[in-house]
Amino acid sequence: MSTDIHLRPAVLAVREQLAQGREGLRRDHEAGASGSDVCTGLTDLYDAAVMRLYQDAVVALGAAVETEVALVAHGGYGRREVAPFSDVDLMLLFRPAAALRAAELARQLSRDICDAQLKLGFSLRTTHDACGLARQDATVFSSLAESRLLAGNTRMFQNFTTRLRRGTRRRWRALAKAIIESRYAERHQYGETVYLLEPNVKRSLGCLRDIQLVRWLGFARHGIAELEGLRQQRALTDVDHHRLTRASEYLLRLRNDLHFHAGKCQDLLTRHEQIRLTALYRYEGRSGILPAERFMRDFFERTGDVRYISSHFVAGMQARSGLTALLAPLFSRSVDGDFRIGPVHISATRRGLAAVCGDLAEVLRLMELASSRDRRIDHATWEAIRDAMARRPRDDLSLDATQRFLSLLSEPGHLADLLRRLHQLRALEQIVPALQHARCLVQFTDYHKYTVDEHTIRSVECATEFQTDPRPIGDAYRTLRDKRLLHLALLLHDLGKGYSDDHCTVGALIAVGTAKRLDLSEHETDVLKFLVSKHLFMQHTAFRQDLGDESVAVRLAVDVGSPEILQMLFVMSCADLAAVGPGVLNDWKLDLLTELYFRTRRHLTGDDRPGTLEQEHHHRRQALRELVEVPKRDAWWERQIDALPTSYLAHVPGDRMLDALRRLRDLPPCGAAAWAHYAPELKVSVYWVGAHESLRPGAFHQLAGTLTANGLQILSAETHSLADGLVLDRFHVEDADYAGQPPAERLNEVCRALVGSLTVDALKTPSFRRLWTTRAGTRAAGLELLPTRVLFDDATSDRFTIITIFAYDRRGLLYAIGHSLFELGVVVHLAKIATYLDQVVDVFYVTDSRGRKLHDEQRQAEIRRRLTERISAVEP
């Protein structure tokens, strides 16, 4: 308030005028005003405010200055699409001779506008400079392309727009290329797909920026930025103009609502906002589909239209050169009288159009031709097919259509792109009807980043990308004899979502129905059903069970029954994870899945004869013994090597294991030791902690808390009792503070903290970093739609009870769980942590303090209650 008394009365009056005007427009918005009406009202409000401050500045400097300058609104402000808290972009054009007076005017005007609490973007330029910058910089050009005179010298402004148009028309191709590249870079930052679950309504694919892209390219080519003008110029069809106008109204209103509700610039449609808007727009749920999922389905339908229209417009700009247009009729050729293939496009003739609109086989044929010849489908042909497919009844597939589709599935080449284009045409759901239900379907959990239909097609894409992967996953994909079933299973695997029953159960029914529709054999039907219904089987096994227990691989082998099916399930599991979101299939998870694959495969191929694993473990123990120097090899070494768990024998190199045992040998009775190394093949740091059991009973939670407090994400944790009361723990972690290998100082710092947590700070509760996240307030507002679950399994392991916990991730979660288990007298022997975006699945192999399994149901119920309460109390 103290700063306000130094502001001029005119500035304070404008500030009050803006606040009252914005509040009035907020009420209009809440009463149902359209997006464009509110934006226009805001523009008028800002115009009045800017003009009042401008006139004050002109009076102060002398009225003559107004003949030497032109005040220009540009960008969103120029096209009158101002959101409640978006920027005000202004340019002050001036004559070179009036540079000093213009600079003084600019200083006072920009200061007053900022004092009035408008977010200002301001530039001071001559006409020559402005046009020159526009030619050189796509961002400057796109903003100045939509300029509007507010005040000053009209002739100067007209001269500027004339020169800008003239210069643009001369070099429109280079400008268009720069604009498109700039937009592609922005898309890469904000999402390459329409179907992001938390889109940015301004910048994400298919949103406002792509409508603006059409306007900017229209100005570059035709000198016209308005959609109506482009329609009159026949650069836009009537249908495309209608769809873009409708989408613009929808997105502008949505953006206005986000701004008004946040009280600031807010363009991200978060989960919290989706729930709020769902209630505001009175969406209702249906069986298996939440109201918010219906709201987002409508959102994606509209933005999908924008994505297609803008991409078609871009393709037309890229292909449209005088030479291409002139030579296209000469260099196009006919294919059986049905299609014409030109230098850029493939189109249907009148006869061919009738065929593709009525016959799926012909649509698939057209797709094959377009893919093999690397041509885009002509816009008119595309629209005709899309409209026909939307109206077409879903009848039985012809033999030709079935064979063409199965042939398409067998080739990795451009498969994902073809499936995506068929889906956009609504032809794919004619072949796989369940895709209609999955179209634009949002699952309101944080497991997935994309809609269900986009995820399934991406999973096919991820599988085909394994073709060039040099690792075992690539070998598994390349050597599959029949990739059709794998690709089809991936396309179907999540289509059971959005129903009240479990999606794997529904998916199995969809698989059987699809197999019948495609006339698959009984064996192929059985395999397809198994792959779809069990697509989570390997993931759950690898991430939640002890792979050192050979019975785990044996049970999986029995369930799968065939090396080829196991191979498909392995590839499917990896592709499914990779398609969840960027970085979800990390090296750690891939390594676990690969290990499970090879362990299980040995049982299915007959390579694992009785005694082989026992002999392998025996040989590894013997190799360790031989590494110990003979004079030092005593009974202590024998006891420790015999007590080593199989997971250490199988996965820790002999020299590293020997180093760990040496450190344990040197421990004093009340001492602890910690050491670490970086595993580049897994891109993780590995921390080891050795101590005596008597030093700190139940130390697991202290160690987990210390690692988390130091900013480390725990991927896996093991704690094993050795001989002579020694305990050896191992943690695999990711260090978010470092992109690659952490420096030695970092590893040593964490090791000191681990030792301190067991000795000096043994009773101290760790404090966890507060990390900034856009999701921080989201779950607190009621987004935790999936409740915390605590499950007990006494059947899988002979020695341990397995506790599986499903919860939303948050800092200190593992510490809270471990500490609660310690207080309950539960001993953790092995922990596995799997993270899926914002959700985690923590699995603990536990016993009671006497080493017994937790059989008692009342005891399990009490543990479940305490864990659920403790997890709920952890701050997000």
> Position 533: which residue type?
S
User: Would you call 647 exposed, middle or buried from its count of C-beta atoms within 10 A (0-12, 13-18, 19+)?
Assistant: middle
Adjacent-strand bridge partners of 686: 677, 732
**CA–CA separation, 83 and 669 (whole Å):** 68
- The residue among 593, 478, 575 whose CA lies nearest residue 538 is 593
Q: What pLDDT shows up at residue 740? A: 85
Evaluate if residue 316 carries a pLDDT over 50: yes
3 state SS of 445? coil
- The owner of tokens 């075992």 is 472
Predicted TM-score of the model (pTM) = 0.73
Evaluate if residue 257 carries a pLDDT over 50: yes
3 state SS of 593? helix
Q: What pLDDT shows up at residue 608? A: 46
**CA–CA separation, 91 and 98 (whole Å):** 15
User: Is the CA virtual torsion 529, 533, 536, 537 positive or negative?
Assistant: negative
Evaluate if residue 610 carries a pLDDT over 50: no
- The residue among 684, 701, 688 whose CA lies nearest residue 814 is 701
**CA–CA separation, 679 and 222 (whole Å):** 58
Count the helices and strands in the chain (H runs, E runs). 39, 16
Evaluate if residue 210 carries a pLDDT over 50: yes
The edge-to-edge listing of strands for the beta sheet with 148-152 is 120-125, 88-94, 69-73, 148-152
3 state SS of 423? helix
Residue 23: pLDDT band (50, 70, 90) is very high
Evaluate if residue 360 carries a pLDDT over 60: yes
Cα angle 726, 729, 731 (rounded to 5 degrees) comes to: 170
3 state SS of 394? coil
3 state SS of 71? strand
Worst-scoring range by mean pLDDT, 109-118, 486-495, 822-831? 822-831
C-alpha distances out from residue 825 to 46, 211, 828, 854, Å: 66, 61, 10, 11
Evaluate if residue 409 carries a pLDDT over 60: yes
- The residue among 459, 521, 519 whose CA lies nearest residue 495 is 459
Q: What pLDDT shows up at residue 609? A: 42
Residues counted in the chain: 876
Q: What pLDDT shows up at residue 558? A: 85
Longest dimension (CA), the chain: 102
Evaluate if residue 1 carries a pLDDT over 50: no
- The residue among 139, 281, 266 whose CA lies nearest residue 201 is 266
Q: What pLDDT shows up at residue 661? A: 93
Evaluate if residue 652 carries a pLDDT over 80: yes
Structure tokens belonging to residue 826? 């539960």
Q: Which residue has the higher pLDDT, 721 or 762?
A: 721
Residue 648: pLDDT band (50, 70, 90) is confident
Structure tokens belonging to residue 479? 């050597």
Evaluate if residue 366 carries a pLDDT over 50: yes
| Interacting residues of 142 by C-beta distance below 8 A, sequence separation 6+ | 179, 182, 212, 216
Evaluate if residue 784 carries a pLDDT over 50: no
> How confident is the model over 515-534, as a mean pLDDT?
96
Which ranges constitute the DSSP H helices of 63-153? 75-78, 99-115, 127-136, 138-144
- The residue among 215, 379, 199, 221 whose CA lies nearest residue 271 is 199
Q: Can you spell out the DSSP letters for 248-294?
A: HHHHHHHHHHHHHHHTS---B--HHHHHHHHHHTT---BTTB-HHHH
Cα angle 810, 812, 816 (rounded to 5 degrees) comes to: 115
Evaluate if residue 604 carries a pLDDT over 90: no
**CA–CA separation, 848 and 193 (whole Å):** 49
8 Å CB contact between 685 and 676: yes
Worst-scoring range by mean pLDDT, 506-510, 681-685, 729-733, 872-876? 872-876
Q: What pLDDT shows up at residue 770? A: 45
8 Å CB contact between 76 and 147: no
Q: Which residue has the higher pLDDT, 432 or 172?
A: 432
Structure tokens belonging to residue 755? 């030792």
C-alpha distances out from residue 98 to 14, 68, 93, 101, 108, Å: 28, 6, 10, 5, 16
8 Å CB contact between 107 and 187: no
**CA–CA separation, 464 and 172 (whole Å):** 38
**CA–CA separation, 499 and 508 (whole Å):** 13
User: Is the CA virtual torsion 478, 483, 486, 489 positive or negative?
Assistant: positive
**CA–CA separation, 645 and 362 (whole Å):** 61
Adjacent-strand bridge partners of 672: 691
Q: Which residue has the higher pLDDT, 178 or 736?
A: 178
Residue 833: pLDDT band (50, 70, 90) is confident
User: Would you call 842 exposed, middle or buried from its count of C-beta atoms within 10 A (0-12, 13-18, 19+)?
Assistant: buried
Residue 94: pLDDT band (50, 70, 90) is very high
User: Is the CA virtual torsion 189, 192, 194, 196 positive or negative?
Assistant: negative
**CA–CA separation, 615 and 612 (whole Å):** 5
Q: What pLDDT shows up at residue 616? A: 75
Structure tokens belonging to residue 17? 């005028």
C-alpha distances out from residue 720 to 626, 662, 778, Å: 23, 16, 39
**CA–CA separation, 8 and 576 (whole Å):** 62
**CA–CA separation, 714 and 542 (whole Å):** 16
User: Would you call 288 exposed, middle or buried from its count of C-beta atoms within 10 A (0-12, 13-18, 19+)?
Assistant: middle
Evaluate if residue 477 carries a pLDDT over 60: yes
Q: What pLDDT shows up at residue 327? A: 54
**CA–CA separation, 823 and 812 (whole Å):** 16
Cα angle 725, 726, 730 (rounded to 5 degrees) comes to: 145
Q: Which tens digit of pLDDT belongs to each residue from 372-408? A: 888 888 888 888 898 888 888 888 889 999 999 999 9
User: Would you call 9 exposed, middle or buried from its count of C-beta atoms within 10 A (0-12, 13-18, 19+)?
Assistant: exposed
Axis crossing angle, helix 415-424 with helix 399-410, rounded to the nearest 10: 140
| Sheet strands (E) in 517-558 | none
**CA–CA separation, 406 and 432 (whole Å):** 12
Structure tokens belonging to residue 772? 């900034």
- The residue among 815, 812, 800 whose CA lies nearest residue 853 is 800
Q: What pLDDT shows up at residue 739? A: 80
**Rg of the chain (C-alpha set):** 33
8 Å CB contact between 204 and 196: yes
Q: Which tens digit of pLDDT belongs to each residue from 24-71? A: 999 999 999 999 999 999 999 999 999 999 999 999 888 788 899 999
> How confident is the model over 93-108, as a mean pLDDT?
94
Structure tokens belonging to residue 724? 């002579």
